[in-house]
Structure 1
Amino acid sequence: MIFPGDEGFDQAVTPWNLAVKQPVRAVAEVGSVDDVIDAVRLARREGLAVTAQPSGHGASGDVADTILLRTHGLTAIEIDAAARVARVGAGVRWGQLQAAAAAHGLTGLPGSSPVVTVTGYTLGGGLSWFSRKHGFASSSVRAFDIVDAEGRRSKVSRDDELFWALRGGGGDFALVTAIELDLHPAPHLYGGRVLWPASRAAEVLEAFKEITATAPDELTVWLDLLSFPGSPPFVAVDSTYLGEDASELLAPLDRIGGALSDTRGPMPLTSLGDITGEPTDPGPGASRAQLLGDLDGILERIMPIDPLISVQIRHLGGALARPSDSAAGQVDEPYLLYMFGLPGVEEKQRKIAEGGRKPFTFLSPDESAAAAFPAGTLERLRDIKRRHDPANVFRSNYPVLAG
C-alpha cells in the first residue's frame, strides 16, 4: 500500500489521462486475488471505497476517500482453442490477448487501442472493430471471477443477476479479477487507412455515407478528421473487414482523387492498433462523444477541426442494433461521434455534442452514468448496486448512484 507523501505515490496514482487528478487515500498494487481481498476488507473496515484501475483509462477523478487498486499484476491468459474460449486476468491488455488468440486463428473483440485492458473495456460494454458482427465485447463474456463487497471470492455466470449488470454496467458492483469470454474465428482480416487533405472532407463524407448504407456486418468503417500540431488538417477513412478482400465494398473511396496514403490490405489480427495509431503512452486530453441518428450538417458543426486534434465518426449498426440481454443494451443510433483534443477544448466539444446518449466507456469526467443508459436500465443497475453493495465499497469511474 502506498500513501500520499510516500516515494512513488505520485507515479502510482497518475491515470492514463494526465489532465485528471485523483485525490485517493492510498494506492494498492495487487498481484493476486488474495491481495484484492485484503484491500476490499481493509476498505470496508475503514469506511472507504475501492476503485479498480488496471491502466487508468477512463478515470473521471471521482475517487475521494478511495483506495485505488492497480490490478495490472493479474496477467494470466489461458486459451482453449478448441472451445474458442479465453480466460484473462484483470491486468491483461488487449494487445496481449490478441497475440495469444491470433496464434489459433481467433480474435477477441478489441477496440482501437492495444494498451486498454480487457476487463475495464468489457465491463463498460466494449465497442469493438468487430461489434457490428459480434456485438459489444461484454456480449461475449461467459463468466466473471469476482471479489464481492464482503471480501469473498466467487464466480458470476449467466444465472446470477450480477452477470447482467457487469456486462456493460461498469465496475460498480464487484471487483472483477478475471473474465472468461468467447473468442471468434477470424481466418482472414483486411483493413487499413486512406488519408486525404481535409479539403476533400465533403467528398469523403459522401463516400462514407454510401459505404455505410449497405455495409455487411463484417465491414466496419470510421471517418476521421485530424489536425495535428504543426501539420495541415487531414481526413481519413479507417476500415476493417472480417474476410479476404473488401476492395469492392470500399470502392467509393477509390473515386476520390488526391489520396496521400492508402494502407488497406490483408493484415494480421495483432496489428489492429496500427490502423489509427493512437498513443500508447499517457498524456493530457479532453474528449467527448455522442450517438448520432444521422449525419446531416455534421461537417458544418465540426469544421474547422482546430483546436481539436481529432473528430471520429464510427459506423455502428449490425449486431449492436439488435436486442441484448446485458446492461450494454442495444444501440439504435447508426453512428457515434467522438472528439479528442488537449485540455481547453471542452467548450467547443460541448457545442458540437449537445446532450444525447453515449456508450459508457466514452463518458467524459464531467458526465455521469445517467448519460449512458436508458432510464429503465439505470434504475435496474442502481437496484442491483444497492442490494449487492449497500455499503458502497466499490466505486467505478462513473458510479451508477451518482447524478
Structure 2
Amino acid sequence: MIDKLSDLRTQVRGRVLLPGDGGFDQARRPWNLAVEQSVPAVVEAADAADVAALVRFARTRGLTVSVQPNGHGATGDLDGAILLRTRRLDALEIDPDARRARVGAGLPSGRLQAAAAPYGLTGLPGSSPVVSVTGVALGGGLSWFGRAHGWVADSVTAFDIVDAEGRERRVTAGTDPDLFWAMRGGGGDFAIVTAAELSLHRAPDLYGGRVLWPIEHGEAVLEAYRRITATAPDELTLWLDLLHFPGSEPMIAVDATHLGAAAEARALLSPLDRLPRPLADGRRTMTVAELGTITAEPTDPGAGSSRGELLTGLDDAAAKTLLAGPIAPLMSVQLRHLGGAFARPSDSPHGPLTEPYALYLFGVPADPATAEAVTARQRELSGALPVSGRKPFTFLCPGETAADAFAPAALDRLRDVKRRHDPHGTFRSNFPVLG
C-alpha cells in the first residue's frame, strides 16, 4: 500500500496526510469519536480538479476512495480506502429569482440557511447546522420542513460529479436518469459529488422553538404531542424529546417549527399552553438561519451511540412504552413527526415515507459498561415499539447495511447502477449498496 501511495502528493494540490505525518490522526477521525477509522491516507481536496485527479490515481492503482466532508455517518469500515475530505469545496451561489442554490460538496447547512434567509427563502435543513448539504441529500435527508417539501433529495435538480473514470460531469434527470435517481438518497457509492444544484422554498415567516418540562409531566406532554400531530398541517413539524443530560434531572421537550405566521402557530400549538408551567419556553418568531438553536446540538465532534427506527403508529401502548422506565443510560429519545409530503410520491430510492414517526435513540458510550447498557436499552425500546423494519439511510449506524434502509426492488436497482457506473469498485460509501 505504501508503494501505491508514494507519489500521491504529486497528483493533487490539496493537503495529503499519511500515517506518521503530523495531523494525520486528527484528519482521519470521523465526527463520531466512538468510531475508530483506520485509513492509509487522507486527502483534503482543493477543488473539483483535485477530486478528479485523485480518482484517476486510485483507479489506475486499484485503490478505493471514500468521501466524508466532516465525517458524519462514518462506520469505521472503509476497507483500506483513501479518505477524501471535501470541506474546502464550499462555494455557494443563490439565485433568489429562480429560487435556486448551487452549493459546494463541503458547504454546511447553516451557511446555506444564512444566505437564503434574507430573501425569504430556505433550503431543507435538519437539526444540525454543521452537516453538509450534499451529504444529507445523498442519504435522502429528513428536514424540519420535510412535511411541507419532502425528502431533502427531492429538491436536488443537478449534481456536479467526478465519475469512476475521473471525469468531471453534470448529472440531471435528463442526462442520466438512473444515476440521478440513485444519488438522490442511495448514498455516496456511485460518484463523488463536487457540487449540487437545488431548489429553494419560500419561507417569509417562521415560528419555532423548544418547550421543556420536568419528566413528571411526561404523560400530559406526550398526550398533547399526539393530539397536535394527529391533525397538524404540513407547515407544522413537531419533535418530542425525552432528555437526561449528565448532572441534571430527566426532562421532556417539544421542539416545533411552523412555516407561517406566529398567530397561526400559537393557535396550532395551544394544547401545549394548557400543560403545567414549563421549565423553559423558547418559542418565538425566528429566521431560517436560526434553526440550529432549537435543539442546540453540539457543533464539535464527540462520542455517541445511536439507533434509528421508523414507527408505524403512536398508540396508547407505544406511548406507555416510551414513558416506562428511566431514560438513562440514553441521553435522548427523540420522536420526529413525519407524514405530509414525506408520504407522497418520490422518485428516489426511499420512495414515499409512509411511516408517521421516526425514532432516534442516542447515548454516550463513556466506558465499555455504559456502551453495553446504551445498546441494550436501544434494543429494548426498539423491540417494544411498533417499528416498520426499515429506517432512513441517514439514520443507519455501525453494524447496519443499506438493506436496512431500502425495499428489495430499490436495493436491486441501486446495485445495478453501482455495477454499471463503478464496475471496479473505486468508490466506497459509509454503507455500500453491495455490502
Give the TM-score of the pair, scaled to structure 2.
Answer: 0.91
2:81 to 52, 56, 66: 66
Using the alignment, how far apart are the partners of 2:80 and 2:57 within structure 1? 13
For 2:405, the equivalent position in structure 1 comes to 372
SS in 1 for 2:256: strand
Q: Which moved more, 1:348-357 or 1:2-11?
A: 348-357
Using the alignment, how far apart are the partners of 2:138 and 2:63 within structure 1? 22
SS in 1 for 2:119: coil
Q: Which moved more, 1:341-350 or 1:209-218?
A: 341-350
Q: 1:238-267: per-residue Cα shift (whole Å, max 9, x none)?
A: 000000120111111111113111111211
Alpha-carbon offset, residue 65 of structure 1: 1.4
For 2:327, the equivalent position in structure 1 comes to 305
* Counterparts of residues 2-401 of structure 1 (less than 5 Å): 2-159=17-174, 160=176, 161-245=178-262, 246-296=265-315, 297-302=317-322, 303-343=325-365, 344=371, 345-354=374-383, 356-401=389-434
SS in 2 for 1:222: strand
Alpha-carbon offset, residue 301 of structure 1: 3.5
- After TM superposition, the runs of 4+ consecutive aligned structure 1 residues lying more than 2 A away are 296-303
Q: Which runs of 5+ in 1 are unaligned?
A: none
Q: 1:59-83: per-residue Cα shift (whole Å, max 9, x none)?
A: 1111121000000010100001110
Q: Which runs of 5+ in 2 are unaligned?
A: 1-15, 366-370
Using the alignment, how far apart are the partners of 1:253 and 1:123 within structure 2? 36
Q: Retained in 2: the 8 A contact 1:21–1:61?
A: yes
Using the alignment, how far apart are the partners of 1:352 and 1:393 within structure 2? 38
Q: Retained in 2: the 8 A contact 1:30–1:71?
A: yes
Using the alignment, how far apart are the partners of 1:148 and 1:240 within structure 2? 38
Using the alignment, how far apart are the partners of 2:393 and 2:309 within structure 1? 11
Using the alignment, how far apart are the partners of 2:350 and 2:85 within structure 1? 25
Q: Retained in 2: the 8 A contact 1:49–1:393?
A: yes
SS in 2 for 1:168: coil
1:197 corresponds to which letter in structure 2? P
1:350 corresponds to which letter in structure 2? R
Using the alignment, how far apart are the partners of 2:321 and 2:424 within structure 1? 45
Structure with the bigger percentage of helix:
2
Using the alignment, how far apart are the partners of 2:108 and 2:309 within structure 1? 26
Q: Retained in 2: the 8 A contact 1:308–1:341?
A: yes
1:151 corresponds to which letter in structure 2? G
Alpha-carbon offset, residue 6 of structure 1: 1.3
Give the TM-score of the pair, scaled to structure 1.
Answer: 0.98
RMSD value, Cα: 1.0
Q: 1:267-289: per-residue Cα shift (whole Å, max 9, x none)?
A: 11111000001000000000001
Q: Retained in 2: the 8 A contact 1:136–1:328?
A: no
Using the alignment, how far apart are the partners of 2:403 and 2:194 within structure 1? 26
Q: Retained in 2: the 8 A contact 1:22–1:64?
A: no
Alpha-carbon offset, residue 45 of structure 1: 1.9
Alpha-carbon offset, residue 315 of structure 1: 0.3
Using the alignment, how far apart are the partners of 2:377 and 2:327 within structure 1? 10
1:72 corresponds to which letter in structure 2? R
Alpha-carbon offset, residue 128 of structure 1: 0.3
Q: 1:121-152: per-residue Cα shift (whole Å, max 9, x none)?
A: 11001100000000011000010000000000
SS in 1 for 2:17: coil
Q: Retained in 2: the 8 A contact 1:138–1:328?
A: no
Alpha-carbon offset, residue 299 of structure 1: 4.6
Alpha-carbon offset, residue 326 of structure 1: 1.2
1:324 corresponds to which letter in structure 2? S
Q: 1:135-178: per-residue Cα shift (whole Å, max 9, x none)?
A: 01100001000000000010000121111000011110000000
SS in 2 for 1:191: strand
Alpha-carbon offset, residue 300 of structure 1: 4.3
Using the alignment, how far apart are the partners of 1:196 and 1:36 within structure 2? 49
